[in-house]
Amino acid sequence: MQKAIDRFYKVLEFLLIILLSGMAVMVFVNVVMRYAMNSGLTVSDELARYFFVWVTFIGAVVSFREHGHMGVETLVALFGRKGRVICMAVSNVVIIGVSAIFFWGTWKQFPINWSMSAPVTGLSMGFVYGIGFFTGAGCVIIALERLIRLLTGRVTEEELAAFAGENMSLEHLAERS
Amino acid sequence: EFNDRNIRVSNGINADHPVGNGIEAMQKCLDEKSGGKLKLTAFWGGALGGDLQATQALRSGVQEAVVTSSSPLVGIEPALGVFDLPFLFANAEEAYKVLDGKFGEMMNEKLAAVGLVNLAYWENGFRNLSNSVRPVAKWEDFEGLKVRVMQNNIFLDTFQNLGANATPMAFGEVFSALETKTIDAQENPYVTIDTSKFFEVQKYITETNHAYTPFLFLFSKAIFDTYTPEEQAALRECAVVGRDVERQVIAELNKKSLEKIKAAGLEVNVLSPEEQTRIREKSMVVYQKHMDEIGAEIVDAVLAELAEIRK
Amino acid sequence: MTLLVFIASLVGAMAIGVPVAFALMFCGVVLMWFMGMFNSQIIAQNMIIGADTFTLLAIPFFVLAGELMNSGGLSKRIIEFAIACVGHIRGGLGIVAIMAAVIMASISGSAAADTAALAAILIPMMARAGYNVPRSAGLIASGGIIAPVIPPSMAFIVFGVSANVSITQLFMAGIVPGLLMGLSLILTWQFVVRKDNIQPLPKAPMSARLNATGRAAWALGMPVIILGGIKAGVVTPTEAAVIAAFYALFVGMFIYRELKPRDLPRVILQAAKTTAVIMFLVCAALVSAWLITAANIPTEITGYIEPLIDRPKLLMFAIMILVLIVGTALDLTPSILILTPVLMPIIKQAGIDPIYFGVMFVMNCCIGLITPPVGVVLNVVSGVGRVPLGKVTVGILPFLLAQTALLMLLVLFPELITVPAQWLR
Ligand code: NA
Ligand code: NA
């Protein structure tokens, strides 16, 4: 099971690399074309924007799994183990709540986005706005799994330390400024 | 029968635009009809999000109203692309007749089908071209001009077809881009050219009147349907009162803006009627190209109505 | 009252450890519920529309350029160049640190990444030369926070988009204050080390100095391309960002040959994750910003501070103090995203130049990166330089004071920002 999950995140990471590279190449080629040949592909500007949306919302789930989202740990860091466990539980309940609302809103709005097409590519905006399903569901599942482990006492010390903002890697610090 | 209603009206433009006068007049009319129960709260400068976003919020019943140009909405209702067609209306009178008449009604039905009630057609004004390179008075003068346009296929094709290099760009970057000569030209109504100070960084302006994209006063159908018939009627009637005031103010302001642009030292050119006809004929390829996505019956209907008027 | 609900829900959620992005969504939900207009579509729509903005595309590209700059050996060449230029002066390595920080700031927008690169190379050197280590670490951290003030800058892009202000103009206006930050640090450094007995580095022979300059030339070309391109109007900030990324890739791979093709996926993935973290926050902030606007909260605040509206300098002073306080606990991007929708209408009403305000605001939020208890750049310098956090916090004090004093000077004399911004426009 764990292996399958890890492989799934490897696929997501691969997707992120492809999307970001794709964005960079499209915008770069457009700049070159615009100055070298005095013409540009309007398609690539639009597509790059949609890649950007996907990078943001796929990357948000990947980062959430790695405790990568910025938080204010000042108060939590002052607490002992018990206090941290309580805060982490409540915090995950909040995350489940808002992510579920995000998913639900995406669902309710899907028909009107599906029927709208992008100005240049004509792509249905359902593909762009539908990413809310992935991110909403992804965050709910991760937070729910954490909550269950918290309530059944199976949470690791590393996770609690990460929640309190301890032992942050340089990559995590770089994401914050 | 009137209930207390707070109607949030989103605007992409700023409060000093004539739409502000229109909304004021509309509120006055609503006060009289509803005894102060129907309240418009206007949000300016895209404070509640861009036009497209606000329109989507209307469709999902999140927000009451928006005043938006027709162009950003073609993804929602492709038929609206008809208003982006180059050199469609020759003057404001033609536009008023078509919009306030049979054809406007036909478009309103299309909008209702996608969850939007169009209360009235307000005015954005004819779009004109300014640039920093050369006077533009004929077709050939467009050649090679780097023109900023909205991200809209018909506008892109119109200017590519004229020989210009059309570049889509966010509105917020246009001033800097003109100033630093990243782009040579932009196209907007006089009032926008004035209020956004584009004239400060341009040398020439041409009254091309190349597009008349109306403002729509859209209401959320989901919310509108919950209102009483009296409330609905008051909103429709007062939107027309507001429309008339707005059109009048914009006409005056257009003159003032043009004077200001002239006083700033810009050379003003006009397309001669012959040249305008020539360009319109040359632009028919754009009509052909977009006929299918707009809907042939729509394009034919508007051209037929215009032919009737021009008789 | 709505203001109170906004603050209480946001601060409450953040305090129990909810990540800022989710806390902003939560605060949006609470505001909707309080205003009696709960609708899940408000969340969904505002979240995604936020990322669908071409201007914001500059963020991943500048992040990528910064990552490539560090992985491709450009930072190292810049520091060597600075040593060759000023290493032999009294207090030389400190001046080297600031000079390198300023040059790197004009390539990258990340305070943490720049600080890490500087600290890794310079702190061991400074320790060997006999400088007080915590003080050196403090200097490098306060030099690192110049990165978001001198363009390119993710902070300016985020502010520009949420305040609807031209990013090009913000970039140009940031140059002089960024240089002033460097200058104030050099002056403070020379003052605090005046009594230390440290042998400056031997003056390198001319040929060695020319060599170092030659090796650094490719790296030094980057600020010229970015700033020159934007200033000359050849490119927009987004285009400059993508050009910078490809240039750094080219130099790192083919000129310095420190970047191997197998490193690329790691570098790109890191840039993608950083982008996602920043952008997810931007998107969540748009949810609460929409509701702040719909609830007319700025008007409520304007009511409270009515007497200050006619006194722009006093108002600026008050806001700067507020931002300094917020900055002690909150990171750079969240501070900008949370405060901009609240403050911007007030700034406009008070007639304060939005570009000037943007520069001051970003500079102030950067100072927040080196104030305890939450100071990301302090953590970076402490981790990379292996100096205990407590000692860095003491070592940084003189420089923190200098930066704050500079900020207050700029409140008194806005012309120091606005006049050069006019020249550079
Ligand atoms: Na920078
Ligand atoms: Na801080």
Dihedral (C-alpha) B185, C50, C39, A137: value to the nearest 10 degrees? 140
C106 Cα–ligand 1 center, Å: 5
Q: pLDDT for B131-183, tens place per residue?
A: 999 999 998 999 999 999 987 889 989 999 999 988 877 777 788 788 878 88
C265 Cα–ligand 1 center, Å: 24
Contact C236 B48 (CB under 8 A): no
Tokens 């951290």 map to which residue? C141
Chain A residues lying within 8 Å of C234, measured CB to CB = 35
B78 pLDDT exceeds 80? yes
Choice between A166 and B163, residue whose per-residue pLDDT is larger: B163
Chain C residues lying within 8 Å of B175, measured CB to CB = 166
Q: pLDDT for C403-413, tens place per residue?
A: 999 999 999 99
Q: Could you write out the three-class secondary structure of chain A?
A: CHHHHHHHHHHHHHHHHHHHHHHHHHHHHHHHHHHHCCCCCHHHHHHHHHHHHHHHHHHHHHHHHCCCCCCCCHHHHHCCHHHHHHHHHHHHHHHHHHHHHHHHHHHHHHHHHHCCECCCCCCEHHHHHCHHHHHHHHHHHHHHHHHHHHHCCCCCHHHHHHHCCCCCCHHHHHCCC
In the sheet with B38-43, reading across from the earlier edge strand, the strands are B38-43, B5-11, B65-69, B215-220, B116-122
pTM: predicted TM-score of the whole model, two decimal places:
0.86
Short-list C78, B88, C280, C411, CA closest to A68: C280
The answer to whether A76 contacts chain C (CB < 8 Å) is yes
A173 pLDDT exceeds 80? no
The answer to whether B40 contacts chain C (CB < 8 Å) is no
Q: How many angstroms separate the CA of residue B232 from the nearest CA in chain A?
A: 24
Looking at chain B, the whole-number percentage of residues with pLDDT higher than 90 is: 76
For chain A, the first-to-last Cα distance in angstroms comes to 35
Question: Looking at residue C1, what is its pLDDT?
Answer: 81
Other C-beta atoms within 10 Å of C338: how many?
26
Sign of CA dihedral B147, B150, B151, B154: negative
Asked, as a colleague might, if the bond just before C373 is cis with ω within 30 of 0, I would say: yes
> How far apart (Å, rounded) are the C-alpha atoms in residues B148 and B166?
6
The answer to whether A117 contacts chain B (CB < 8 Å) is yes
C385 Cα–ligand 1 center, Å: 22
Question: Looking at residue A40, what is its pLDDT?
Answer: 66
Q: pLDDT for C146-159, tens place per residue?
A: 999 999 999 999 99
Find the closest chain C residue to B51 by CA distance: C49
> How far apart (Å, rounded) are the C-alpha atoms in residues C181 and B67?
45
Q: How many angstroms separate the CA of residue C178 from the nearest CA in chain B?
A: 22
The answer to whether A112 contacts chain B (CB < 8 Å) is yes
**Nearest-ligand number for the alpha carbon of A176:** 2
Contact A98 C280 (CB under 8 A): no
Short-list B220, B62, B305, CA closest to C28: B62
Q: Which contiguous run of DSSP H or E holds residue B266?
A: none
Chain A residues lying within 8 Å of B71, measured CB to CB = none
Contact A90 C16 (CB under 8 A): yes
Contact of C24 with C288, CB cutoff 8 Å:
yes
A38 pLDDT exceeds 70? no
Of C52, C61, C330, the CB nearest to A72: C330
Q: What are the boundaries of each domain within chain A?
A: 1-66, 70-177
Of C18, C26, C276, the CB nearest to A59: C276
Find the closest chain B residue to A107 by CA distance: B60
Residues with CB under 5 A from ligand 1 (ion): C 105, 109, 147, 150, 153
Question: Looking at residue A43, what is its pLDDT?
Answer: 82
**Nearest-ligand number for the alpha carbon of C106:** 1
Looking at chain C, the whole-number percentage of residues with pLDDT higher than 70 is: 100
Q: How far is CA C88 from the centre of its chain?
A: 30
Q: pLDDT for A1-12, tens place per residue?
A: 889 999 999 999
Chain A residues lying within 8 Å of B59, measured CB to CB = 112
C103 Cα–ligand 1 center, Å: 9
Contact of A118 with A46, CB cutoff 8 Å:
yes
Short-list B61, A96, B232, B3, CA closest to C37: B61
For an interface test with B, the pick among C41, C57, C238, C349 (most B C-beta atoms closer than 10 Å) comes out as C41
Contact C233 B61 (CB under 8 A): no
B305 pLDDT exceeds 70? yes
Choice between B46 and B154, residue whose per-residue pLDDT is larger: B154
> How far apart (Å, rounded) are the C-alpha atoms in residues A176 and A67?
12
Question: Looking at residue C209, what is its pLDDT?
Answer: 86
By mean pLDDT, which of A172-176, B243-247, B254-258, C200-204 is the weakest? A172-176
B190 pLDDT exceeds 70? yes
Q: How far is CA B100 from the centre of its chain?
A: 15
Of C41, C167, C236, the CB nearest to B182: C236
DSSP C226: I
pLDDT tier for residue C254 given thresholds of 50, 70 and 90: very high
B49 pLDDT exceeds 90? no
Question: Looking at residue B171, what is its pLDDT?
Answer: 76
pLDDT tier for residue A177 given thresholds of 50, 70 and 90: low
C222 pLDDT exceeds 90? no
Contact of C321 with C343, CB cutoff 8 Å:
no
Choice between C132 and A38, residue whose per-residue pLDDT is larger: C132
Choice between A44 and B261, residue whose per-residue pLDDT is larger: B261
Residue length of chain B: 311
Question: Looking at residue C155, what is its pLDDT?
Answer: 94
Mean pLDDT, all residues of chain B: 92
Find the closest chain C residue to B168 by CA distance: C54
Find the closest chain C residue to B7 by CA distance: C294
Q: How many angstroms separate the CA of residue C366 from the nearest CA in chain A?
A: 9
Of C39, C166, C290, the CB nearest to B49: C290
Q: How far is CA C395 from the centre of its chain?
A: 21
Question: Looking at residue C417, what is its pLDDT?
Answer: 92
Contact C49 B57 (CB under 8 A): no
Q: Which contiguous run of DSSP H or E holds residue C214?
A: helix C206-223
Q: pLDDT for C317-352, tens place per residue?
A: 999 999 999 998 888 999 999 999 889 988 988 999
Q: pLDDT for A54-108, tens place per residue?
A: 999 999 999 999 988 888 887 888 898 999 999 999 999 999 999 999 999 999 9
Tokens of B73: 């909405």
The answer to whether A120 contacts chain B (CB < 8 Å) is yes
Phi and psi, residue C258, nearest 5°:
-100, -15
Contact of C28 with C44, CB cutoff 8 Å:
no
Question: Looking at residue B276, what is its pLDDT?
Answer: 87
Burial class of residue C242 in the structure, from the number of CB atoms within 10 Å of its CB (0-12 exposed, 13-18 middle, 19+ buried) = buried
Q: Which chains touch C (3 or more CB pairs under 8 A)?
A: A, B
Q: How many angstroms separate the CA of residue B167 from the nearest CA in chain A?
A: 8
Question: Looking at residue C261, what is its pLDDT?
Answer: 92
DSSP H helical ranges for C225-311: 229-231, 237-250, 264-294, 297-304, 306-309
Find the closest chain C residue to A127 by CA distance: C48
Chain B residues lying within 8 Å of A118, measured CB to CB = 75
Contact residues for A96 (Cβ-Cβ < 8 A; gap 6+): A139, A140, A143, A144, A147
Looking at chain A, the whole-number percentage of residues with pLDDT higher than 70 is: 96
Dihedral (C-alpha) C81, C85, C87, C91: value to the nearest 10 degrees? -120
Question: Looking at residue C249, what is its pLDDT?
Answer: 93
pLDDT tier for residue B3 given thresholds of 50, 70 and 90: very high
**3-state class (DSSP) for residue C357:** helix
Contact A120 B153 (CB under 8 A): yes
Other C-beta atoms within 10 Å of A38: how many?
10
Q: How many angstroms separate the CA of residue B203 from the nearest CA in chain C?
A: 17
Chain B residues lying within 8 Å of A116, measured CB to CB = 56, 75-76
Mean pLDDT, all residues of chain C: 90
Contact A113 B56 (CB under 8 A): yes
The answer to whether A49 contacts chain C (CB < 8 Å) is yes
Q: Amino acid identity, residue A85?
A: V
Contact C42 B62 (CB under 8 A): yes
Q: pLDDT for B86-136, tens place per residue?
A: 999 989 999 999 999 999 999 999 999 999 999 999 999 899 999 999 999
ipTM of the complex: 0.84
Contact B49 C49 (CB under 8 A): yes
**3-state class (DSSP) for residue C232:** coil
Contact B49 C232 (CB under 8 A): no
> How far apart (Å, rounded) are the C-alpha atoms in residues C313 and C146?
24
- Pairing mode, strands B126-131 and B185-188: antiparallel
CA-CA distances (angstroms) from residue C214 to B222, C244, C255, C396?
68, 20, 12, 34
> How far apart (Å, rounded) are the C-alpha atoms in residues B159 and B167?
9
